[in-house]
């Protein structure tokens, strides 16, 4: 059982007020428990939680490089195994480190089948260095390297389906979660940590600074992402999708309107074709995962 009162991510870290990633780390550590060693890749979480000589972590924690968190975790896990010790190894990495930079090391570590849990906090761009696009940036989001303007509506490519790539490596447990559903997130991390073999949890963590919204809206926006079908919460056990979060469908506009990174879709003129394209992506998700709850007509 998850011990909700367990605090392994301490106050005093330097994340923005209302940071989704900080909340993701706090909740994930409640699920992982005290008997954990954390390997952190470079990223916002590493920077705001550990400006030397401070650290927000209350478990053993190591940072090496941007690209090699899963290689470092492999070594840690192999050494623990040799010493017959029982600590759980958890990787915390952002979407840039996961989707782009760490891809080779991740692929190697999952293929070798080390016993660790990889938690990706997905804030959909390189937020720490100033909002550059990553493989996780959604279609039409404006970032500093995919700016919206006269010639462009922002990021041209849809988000990479990372959970499927990990599942294709034969990972026994792959899950997506959102900070909008804290109990679900903690349970998924707990299950991943207690599953033997390389497991993966991808957590949707809105970034108030990078996406352009007020800090108090973080959870409301995370929830809207799930309700509009642009983020799907599901579990994949041995490659088979199960336990999908079902929702009452909302139009994608409600989600897009809340964030400055999509502002160009509404101002100066409403871009119906682009909004329809994003709606079509959400509709495909609804169809693929069968997540719509149909309300009975009275």
Instruction: For the segment 58-87, give every residue that binds other proteins (CB under 8 A).
Output: 58-59
Pick the piece of the chain touching other proteins (CB under 8 A) from 20-28, 95-103, 138-146, 274-282. 20-28
Question: Quick one: DSSP state of residue 4?
Answer: T
State which residue, 220 or 248, has the beta carbon closest to other proteins.
Answer: 220
Give the chain's length. Answer: 298
**Beta-carbon contacts of residue 131 (< 8 Å; ≥ 6 apart):** 125, 143, 144, 209, 210
C-alpha angle with apex 8: 210 to 207, nearest 5 degrees? 10
State which residue, 11 or 273, has the beta carbon closest to other proteins.
Answer: 11
Pick the piece of the chain touching other proteins (CB under 8 A) from 76-84, 216-224, 249-257, 279-287. 216-224
Q: Which residue has the tokens 């992402």?
A: 225
State which residue, 54 or 161, has the beta carbon closest to other proteins.
Answer: 54
Closest CA to 179 of 141, 212, 217: 217
Total site size for other proteins, rule CB under 8 A: 37
Q: Which residue has the tokens 């995370």?
A: 222
Chosen residue from 2, 26, 173, 176 binding other proteins by CB under 8 A: 26
Question: Does residue 1 touch other proteins according to CB under 8 A?
Answer: no
User: CA 118 → CA 29, 37, 180, 213, distances in Å?
Assistant: 12, 12, 20, 28
State which residue, 55 or 145, has the beta carbon closest to other proteins.
Answer: 55
Question: Does residue 9 touch other proteins according to CB under 8 A?
Answer: yes
Pick the piece of the chain touching other proteins (CB under 8 A) from 12-20, 82-90, 133-141, 230-238. 12-20
> In this structure, what token pair is assigned to residue 197?
């073999």
């Amino acid at each position: 059982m998850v011990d909700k009162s367990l605090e392994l991510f301490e106050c005093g870290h330097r994340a923005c007020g209302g940071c989704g990633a900080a909340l993701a780390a706090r909740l994930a550590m409640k699920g992982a428990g005290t008997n954990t060693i954390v390997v952190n890749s470079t990223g916002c979480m590493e920077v705001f939680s550990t400006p030397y000589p401070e650290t927000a972590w209350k478990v053993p924690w190591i940072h090496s490089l941007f690209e090699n968190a899963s290689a470092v975790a492999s070594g840690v896990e192999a050494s623990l195994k040799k010493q017959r010790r029982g600590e759980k190894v958890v990787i915390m990495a952002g979407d840039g480190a996961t989707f782009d930079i760490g891809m080779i090391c991740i692929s190697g570590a999952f293929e070798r089948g080390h016993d660790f849990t990889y938690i990706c906090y997905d804030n959909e761009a390189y937020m720490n260095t100033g909002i550059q696009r990553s493989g996780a940036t959604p279609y039409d989001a404006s970032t500093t390297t995919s700016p919206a303007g006269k010639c462009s509506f922002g990021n041209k490519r849809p988000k990479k389906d990372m959970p499927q790539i990990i599942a294709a490596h034969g990972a026994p447990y792959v899950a997506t979660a959102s900070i909008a559903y804290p109990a679900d997130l903690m349970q998924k991390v707990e299950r991943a940590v207690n599953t033997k073999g390389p497991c993966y949890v991808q957590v949707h963590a809105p970034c108030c600074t990078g996406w352009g919204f007020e800090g108090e809206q973080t959870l409301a926006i995370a929830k809207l992402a799930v309700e509009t079908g642009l983020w799907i919460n599901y579990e994949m056990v041995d490659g088979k999708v199960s336990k999908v979060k079902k929702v009452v469908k909302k139009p994608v506009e409600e989600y897009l309107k809340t964030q400055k990174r999509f502002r160009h879709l509404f101002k100066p003129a409403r871009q119906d074709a682009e909004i329809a394209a994003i709606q079509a992506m959400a509709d495909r998700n609804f169809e693929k995962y069968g997540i719509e709850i149909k309300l009975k007509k009275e």
